[in-house]
Amino acid sequence: MGGRRITLLVLMGVAIYGIWSALQMPIGKIQDQGPGFFPLVLSGLLLFLSILGLIFSKEEKEAPLDWKKIWGEFRIPVRIVFLSLGAIYFWEFLGFLIICPLFLFLLFFWASGFRLWKALALGAAGGLIGWAFFIKLLGVAMPIGTFGF
């Protein structure tokens, strides 16, 4: 099964979920639409389009997904995603002044492949510039961590 068919199936799933969600809400009439009216119409349309897409794509010859190859390709993006999730999770807990250099350092070291000391230096520099530019110069409000800074 090709990637396109999978995506269309996912879209169909979203559409079915949408229809189910919409039916939980008051629908109303066309002149006095309830909150569920528009989502219902849209999910129905999405369902129709995704089924249409699936029917027509039966005629194509799509190469099946080579999962091993894909996994190999996504090595670095997965690391980036993992680190980003961590950054977001700890964003308010650790505060900007810790997260910024730490996140940068981990990315430089683990995702970019810089050597340890170079990554540390870059992370520290990034944190410093980030603080100077965003906090001091621009005055953007970034979270203060539980440690008080």
User: Do 88 and 73 form a contact (C-beta atoms < 8 A)?
Assistant: no
Interface of this chain with other proteins, residues 123 to 142, rule: CB under 8 A = 126, 130, 134, 138-142
CA–CA distance, 124 with 98 (Å, rounded to integer): 10
How many residues bind other proteins (CB under 8 A)? The answer is 74
Backbone angles phi, psi at 25, to 5 degrees: -100, 160
Q: Does 145 bind other proteins (CB under 8 A)?
A: no
Nearer to other proteins, 64 or 138 (CB): 138
Nearest to 107 by CA among 128, 136, 85, 140: 85
Interface of this chain with other proteins, residues 44 to 73, rule: CB under 8 A = 45-46, 49-50, 52-53, 56-57, 59-60, 73
Interface of this chain with other proteins, residues 9 to 48, rule: CB under 8 A = 11, 14-15, 18, 21, 25-36, 38-39, 42-43, 45-46
Q: Which strand (E) or helix (H) includes residue 13?
A: helix 3-24
> Of these, 1, 63, 64, 113, which contacts other proteins (CB under 8 A)?
113
Interface of this chain with other proteins, residues 78 to 107, rule: CB under 8 A = 80-81, 84-85, 87-89, 91-92, 96, 100, 103-104, 107
CA–CA distance, 146 with 127 (Å, rounded to integer): 18
Q: Which strand (E) or helix (H) includes residue 108?
A: none
